[in-house]
Protein backbone atom coordinates (compact mmCIF):
# COMPACT_ATOMS: atom_id res chain seq x y z
CA UNK A 1 0.00 0.00 0.00
CA UNK A 2 1.29 3.42 -0.94
CA UNK A 3 1.16 5.92 1.91
CA UNK A 4 0.48 9.47 0.81
CA UNK A 5 -1.28 12.55 2.20
CA UNK A 6 -2.06 15.72 0.30
CA UNK A 7 -4.19 18.77 1.00
CA UNK A 8 -6.03 19.79 -2.16
CA UNK A 9 -8.47 22.71 -2.16
CA UNK A 10 -8.56 22.66 1.64
CA UNK A 11 -9.38 18.94 1.93
CA UNK A 12 -7.03 16.25 3.27
CA UNK A 13 -6.73 13.16 1.07
CA UNK A 14 -5.03 10.29 2.92
CA UNK A 15 -4.43 6.91 1.27
CA UNK A 16 -4.15 5.20 4.66
CA UNK A 17 -7.65 6.29 5.73
CA UNK A 18 -9.42 5.85 2.39
CA UNK A 19 -10.77 2.66 0.81
CA UNK A 20 -9.14 1.30 -2.35
CA UNK A 21 -11.85 0.91 -4.99
CA UNK A 22 -9.86 -0.16 -8.06
CA UNK A 23 -6.35 -0.25 -9.54
CA UNK A 24 -5.02 0.18 -13.07
CA UNK A 25 -1.50 -0.35 -14.39
CA UNK A 26 0.01 0.35 -17.79
CA UNK A 27 3.54 0.04 -19.12
CA UNK A 28 5.06 1.90 -22.01
CA UNK A 29 7.46 0.28 -24.45
CA UNK A 30 11.14 0.29 -23.64
CA UNK A 31 13.21 3.00 -25.20
CA UNK A 32 16.95 3.39 -25.35
CA UNK A 33 18.52 6.61 -24.06
CA UNK A 34 21.66 7.14 -26.09
CA UNK A 35 22.86 9.93 -23.78
CA UNK A 36 22.73 7.75 -20.66
CA UNK A 37 23.41 4.45 -22.38
CA UNK A 38 20.39 2.95 -20.62
CA UNK A 39 17.28 1.20 -21.86
CA UNK A 40 14.28 2.27 -19.80
CA UNK A 41 10.58 1.56 -19.41
CA UNK A 42 7.92 3.67 -17.70
CA UNK A 43 5.11 2.05 -15.72
CA UNK A 44 2.10 4.08 -14.65
CA UNK A 45 -0.23 3.14 -11.82
CA UNK A 46 -3.59 4.67 -10.96
CA UNK A 47 -5.44 3.71 -7.79
CA UNK A 48 -8.97 4.94 -7.21
CA UNK A 49 -9.84 5.64 -3.56
CA UNK A 50 -13.02 6.64 -1.73
CA UNK A 51 -12.85 8.54 1.56
CA UNK A 52 -15.10 7.83 4.54
CA UNK A 53 -17.09 10.91 3.50
CA UNK A 54 -17.67 9.45 0.02
CA UNK A 55 -15.23 11.61 -1.93
CA UNK A 56 -13.20 9.97 -4.69
CA UNK A 57 -9.58 10.57 -5.61
CA UNK A 58 -6.91 9.02 -7.79
CA UNK A 59 -3.38 8.32 -6.70
CA UNK A 60 -1.31 8.54 -9.87
CA UNK A 61 2.20 7.19 -9.84
CA UNK A 62 4.77 6.71 -12.55
CA UNK A 63 8.07 4.89 -12.22
CA UNK A 64 10.86 4.59 -14.71
CA UNK A 65 13.27 1.69 -14.49
CA UNK A 66 16.45 1.53 -16.50
CA UNK A 67 18.48 -1.46 -17.60
CA UNK A 68 22.22 -1.05 -17.78
CA UNK A 69 23.69 -4.34 -18.97
CA UNK A 70 21.90 -7.02 -16.93
CA UNK A 71 21.19 -4.75 -13.95
CA UNK A 72 17.78 -3.10 -13.48
CA UNK A 73 17.98 0.20 -11.64
CA UNK A 74 15.38 2.80 -10.64
CA UNK A 75 15.92 6.12 -12.34
CA UNK A 76 15.32 8.66 -9.61
CA UNK A 77 16.17 11.92 -11.33
CA UNK A 78 13.48 14.58 -10.95
CA UNK A 79 10.53 13.88 -13.22
CA UNK A 80 11.35 10.19 -13.62
CA UNK A 81 9.41 8.98 -10.58
CA UNK A 82 6.44 10.91 -9.28
CA UNK A 83 3.22 10.59 -7.33
CA UNK A 84 0.22 12.87 -7.22
CA UNK A 85 -3.31 12.89 -5.83
CA UNK A 86 -6.16 14.03 -8.07
CA UNK A 87 -9.62 14.62 -6.52
CA UNK A 88 -12.52 13.37 -8.67
CA UNK A 89 -16.21 14.18 -8.79
CA UNK A 90 -18.63 11.25 -8.67
CA UNK A 91 -19.10 11.59 -12.43
CA UNK A 92 -15.33 11.53 -13.04
CA UNK A 93 -14.97 8.48 -10.77
CA UNK A 94 -17.74 6.72 -12.69
CA UNK A 95 -16.08 7.54 -16.04
CA UNK A 96 -12.73 6.26 -14.77
CA UNK A 97 -14.34 3.04 -13.53
CA UNK A 98 -16.36 2.61 -16.74
CA UNK A 99 -13.08 2.62 -18.67
CA UNK A 100 -10.89 0.59 -16.30
CA UNK A 101 -13.23 -1.55 -14.16
CA UNK A 102 -16.78 -1.76 -15.64
CA UNK A 103 -18.06 -4.29 -13.08
CA UNK A 104 -17.12 -1.97 -10.21
CA UNK A 105 -18.74 0.98 -12.05
CA UNK A 106 -22.02 -0.93 -12.25
CA UNK A 107 -21.76 -1.99 -8.60
CA UNK A 108 -21.01 1.48 -7.19
CA UNK A 109 -23.25 3.51 -9.48
CA UNK A 110 -26.48 1.50 -9.92
CA UNK A 111 -28.36 4.73 -10.54
CA UNK A 112 -26.64 4.95 -13.96
CA UNK A 113 -28.87 2.10 -15.20
CA UNK A 114 -26.30 0.60 -17.53
CA UNK A 115 -28.14 -1.27 -20.26
CA UNK A 116 -26.98 -4.39 -22.13
CA UNK A 117 -26.07 -3.73 -25.75
* pLDDT of res. 115: 83
Q: What percent of the chain has pLDDT over 90?
A: 52
What DSSP string describes 28-64?
PPPEEETTTTEEEEEEEEEEEEE-TTS-EEEEEEEEE
Band of residue 27 on the pLDDT scale cut at 50, 70, 90: confident
Q: Check pLDDT > 60 for residue 38.
A: yes
* pLDDT of res. 80: 53
* pLDDT of res. 82: 76
- Answer yes or no: are the C-beta atoms of 45 and 61 closer than 8 Å: yes
Which run of H or of E encompasses 94?
helix 90-100
Domain boundaries, given as residue ranges, for the chain: 5-112
CA distance 24 to 35: 31
Which run of H or of E encompasses 6?
strand 5-8
* pLDDT of res. 69: 52
Q: List, for residues 40-85, the tens digit of each pLDDT value.
A: 677 888 999 999 999 999 999 887 766 555 555 555 554 456 789 9
Q: Check pLDDT > 80 for residue 1.
A: no
CB atoms within 10 A of CB 4: 16
CA distance 55 to 72: 38
Amino acid sequence: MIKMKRIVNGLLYDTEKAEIISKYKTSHNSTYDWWLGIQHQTTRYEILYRTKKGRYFLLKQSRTLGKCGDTIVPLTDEGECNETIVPLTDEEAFSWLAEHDPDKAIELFPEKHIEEA
